[in-house]
Amino acid sequence: MLDEESKVIYCPRCGTANREGSRFCNNCGQDLNPAEEVACPACGHLNPGEAVACANCGATLPSAGPPKEAEEVPEEVPTWLKRLRDLEGGEEEAEAGEKIPTWLLRLRQEGVAPLAEEPAPQEPAPEEPAVEEPTPQGPGVEPLPPEAPVIQPPEPAEAEVPAPEEPTERTGRIDLAQLEEEAVPIEPPSPPPGEGIPLEEAPPSEAISPEEAEDMEPAASEGILAGLVGVLTERTAFPRPRRRQPTSAVPLAGTEQASVFEEIVTGPAIPAPVEKKEERERLSPTLVRWLIYLLVGGAVILAILLSGILPSGLVPGVTAAAFDQALSNLPEQATVLVSFDYDPSTRGELGPQAGAVLGRLMEQEARILAISLVPEGATLADEALDRSAAAAGDYVYGENYVNLGFVSGEAAGARALTQGLFRPDQAEYREGRRLSDIAIGEGLTGLADVDLIVVLTARPEALRSWIEQVQIEQDQTALQVRMVAGVSAQADPLARPYLRSGQLEGLVVGLLGAAELEALRGVTGPASAAVAPQSLGHLAVLAVILAANLAHLWGRLRGRS
């Protein structure tokens, strides 16, 4: 099992846990792997670890590098050092004396005082002039003994040349015959680049004098040569590549460009042509939004308040007429299964539909069985049934209509209805009575006794469940149930293909479809009262679309001109 704690990186700024390997925080963008900061040796300014020059004064920076690399440096022991260790008794002895190497002990025997055992003097040695040699600091650095020979201090002019990347190795008063055999002969120091020769002609590497080495490199601060400043002789054993110094000569073209830049910067500011006029003309999104709200909402509210005055002008459509025809074709006291597959969020649209459908069915004295594939549908069915029964007058619960409640499983539940909808132990929704114990249940054996299924839904999936699972055809023994549907306007494009294919005999859509049913019945219900508000609402939306397109077109024409 993976340790989750070890696979995350916590942001140092906001504390967010980020995936391992992330470079930046997913929450605040903080750099999760910041390089070690490097202090400028000249001004002390803290610079990023990867910087090569100080951002404050421009001085060359020593490379910081991550701590791991610094720890790996001592492992790369140069050949000359290995040979030196061999001369002093082999690696084993060198390793055994970690604090004081053997060759250093020999140095002591030859007259140099041990570095680690005696404390550093508070005052400089009397025989030597007081020299403020920068004492190396850091882990493993030992103070210098008073007897240690002191290297001459660097010249002030050359002390400004920092070269801290490579530690300077110095030889002491030891026999370096073997070492010198491998060493490159020291050549006289060349004049620094920029002073006598062009930069391009400067050699890639050159020998440097002890003074230069002292100036450019600090004493070794750690490792086997720690604390050896002043102990070794002022003699450079190895040449090392000299860093090329940038020339101060500026090309002529650069000077001209700089003068042009200076003229631009110091010259009088020329005001840029700002298109403020266009921004002023543009309406803010908030204002546009409120205008749309006011226009659509105002149209709807006004139409509702004036619903008795405004003409509806409704003409029933073909699909609603087919729906009404399917109800008209039912036999007397037909059994109709009505599925209330909608919830309160779409009740405003499907409630009037349910009222219109139930009113039409009650006119034909049909036995109504209510059912629902959604949990909330059973309660909404109760509400619609009671309201329509109260309007019909002689409809009694349990005798003329019943609510069978919620059927779980949607598609599988609808499929299960074909197997055993009217079992003897089937309980109705309100009081839990068995269907076999109430009047409406007499003679019902299954879905085959149902003359018509009416699906009222806002979801195309529910309608598909009924069509695909219940209205199936299998050869000549098919269980084929006549089916009509009332859907929300949103589901209309996905329900209409089933009407065209003949799987649905009729379809009413939205509030308009409910109003069409009411118009076919010759009554004025809540759906009819909503026709005028809906028409005005649509007109308002059309006006918004037209205005927006005209504004866009106007803007494009102005942009071209």
Partner 1 sequence: MPLPEDVTALAGVWVGAVLTIMVFSYLLSDSPLFRVAEHLLVGTALGFATVVAVHQVLIARLAAPLLEEPAANAQLAVPLALGVLLLAKIHAPLAWVGNPSMALLFGVGAAVAAGGAFTGTLLRQAQATMLSLSPGEDAMVAVNNLILVVGTLGTLGYFYFSLEGGTRAGEFRKAIARNWRMVGRGFIMITFGALFANALTTRISLLIDRVQFLLGDWLGLLS
Of 427, 438, 523, 543, the residue at the interface with partner 1 (CB under 8 A) is 427
Asked if residue 296 binds partner 1 (CB under 8 A), the reply is yes
Q: 3-class secondary structure for 134-148? A: CCCCCCCCCCCCCCC
Size of the site for partner 1 (CB under 8 A): 63
**Which range binds partner 1 by CB under 8 A, 156-164, 191-199, 334-342, 467-475?**
467-475
CA atoms within 13 A on the CB side of 38: 24
Report d(CA 258, CA 189) in Å as an integer.
36
Contact letters for partner 1, residues 347-366 (x by CB under 8 A): xxx-x---------------
**Shortest Cβ distance from residue 374 to partner 1 (Å)?**
8
Of 30, 468, 482, 547, the residue at the interface with partner 1 (CB under 8 A) is 468
| Cα torsion 352, 357, 358, 362: sign | positive
Contact 232, 170 (CB under 8 A): yes
**Shortest Cβ distance from residue 18 to partner 1 (Å)?**
25
**Shortest Cβ distance from residue 326 to partner 1 (Å)?**
18
Asked if residue 425 binds partner 1 (CB under 8 A), the reply is yes
Asked if residue 467 binds partner 1 (CB under 8 A), the reply is yes
Residue 131's CB is within 10 A of a number of other CB atoms, namely 12
CA-wise closest residue to 513 among 382, 380, 319: 319
**Token pair for 87:** 């001369």
Query: What 8-state DSSP symbol labels residue 426?
Result: P
Report d(CA 480, CA 467) in Å as an integer.
10
Instruction: Please provide residue 106's backbone torsions phi and psi, each rounded to the nearest 5 degrees.
Output: -65, -35
Contact 337, 371 (CB under 8 A): yes
**Which range binds partner 1 by CB under 8 A, 299-307, 381-389, 441-449, 549-557?**
299-307
End-to-end CA distance of the chain: 69
Report which secondary-structure segment, H or E, holds 15. none
Report d(CA 515, CA 524) in Å as an integer.
8
Of 7, 538, 556, 558, the residue at the interface with partner 1 (CB under 8 A) is 538
Of 370, 378, 483, 484, the residue at the interface with partner 1 (CB under 8 A) is 378
Cβ distance to partner 1 smaller for residue 57 or 545: 545
* Measured CA angle at 262 (ends 260, 268), to 5 deg: 100
Asked if residue 339 binds partner 1 (CB under 8 A), the reply is no
Contact letters for partner 1, residues 388-407 (x by CB under 8 A): -----------------xx-
Query: What 8-state DSSP symbol labels residue 469?
Result: I
CA-wise closest residue to 315 among 536, 511, 512: 512
Contact letters for partner 1, residues 198-227 (x by CB under 8 A): ------------------------------
Contact set for partner 1, span 488-517 (CB under 8 A): 488-493, 497, 500-503, 510-512
Asked if residue 230 binds partner 1 (CB under 8 A), the reply is no
Of 133, 343, 382, 505, the residue at the interface with partner 1 (CB under 8 A) is 343
**Which range binds partner 1 by CB under 8 A, 39-47, 82-90, 184-192, 303-311?**
303-311
**Which range binds partner 1 by CB under 8 A, 169-177, 191-199, 239-247, 531-539?**
531-539
CA-wise closest residue to 135 among 125, 145, 127, 44: 145
Asked if residue 300 binds partner 1 (CB under 8 A), the reply is yes
Asked if residue 482 binds partner 1 (CB under 8 A), the reply is no
CA-wise closest residue to 112 among 145, 135, 81: 145
**Shortest Cβ distance from residue 504 to partner 1 (Å)?**
11
Cβ distance to partner 1 smaller for residue 372 or 400: 372
Contact set for partner 1, span 20-39 (CB under 8 A): none
- In DSSP terms, which residues pair with 335 in a beta bridge? 367
**Token pair for 179:** 């070492």
Residue that the structure tokens 């749309």 belong to: 292
**Shortest Cβ distance from residue 411 to partner 1 (Å)?**
5
Instruction: Please provide residue 97's backbone torsions phi and psi, each rounded to the nearest 5 degrees.
Output: -95, 80
Residue 67's CB is within 10 A of a number of other CB atoms, namely 9
**Which range binds partner 1 by CB under 8 A, 65-73, 151-159, 254-262, 295-303?**
295-303
**Shortest Cβ distance from residue 493 to partner 1 (Å)?**
5
Report d(CA 343, CA 347) in Å as an integer.
6
DSSP-assigned states of every residue in 268-308? PPPPP---HHHHHHSPPHHHHHHHHHHHHHHHHHHHHHTTT
Instruction: Please provide residue 400's backbone torsions phi and psi, each rounded to the nearest 5 degrees.
Output: -105, -20
CA-wise closest residue to 303 among 542, 538, 548, 544: 538
Asked if residue 301 binds partner 1 (CB under 8 A), the reply is yes
**Which range binds partner 1 by CB under 8 A, 30-38, 195-203, 261-269, 523-531?**
523-531
**Shortest Cβ distance from residue 167 to partner 1 (Å)?**
57
Cβ distance to partner 1 smaller for residue 59 or 494: 494
Asked if residue 549 binds partner 1 (CB under 8 A), the reply is no
Of 29, 203, 297, 555, the residue at the interface with partner 1 (CB under 8 A) is 297
**Token pair for 48:** 């990023």
Cβ distance to partner 1 smaller for residue 209 or 418: 418
Q: Which residues bind partner 1 (CB under 8 A)?
A: 293, 296-297, 300-301, 304-305, 307-308, 343-349, 351, 375-376, 378-379, 405-406, 408-409, 411-412, 415, 425, 427, 429, 432, 458, 464-465, 467-469, 471-473, 488-493, 497, 500-503, 510-512, 526, 529-530, 533-534, 537-538, 541
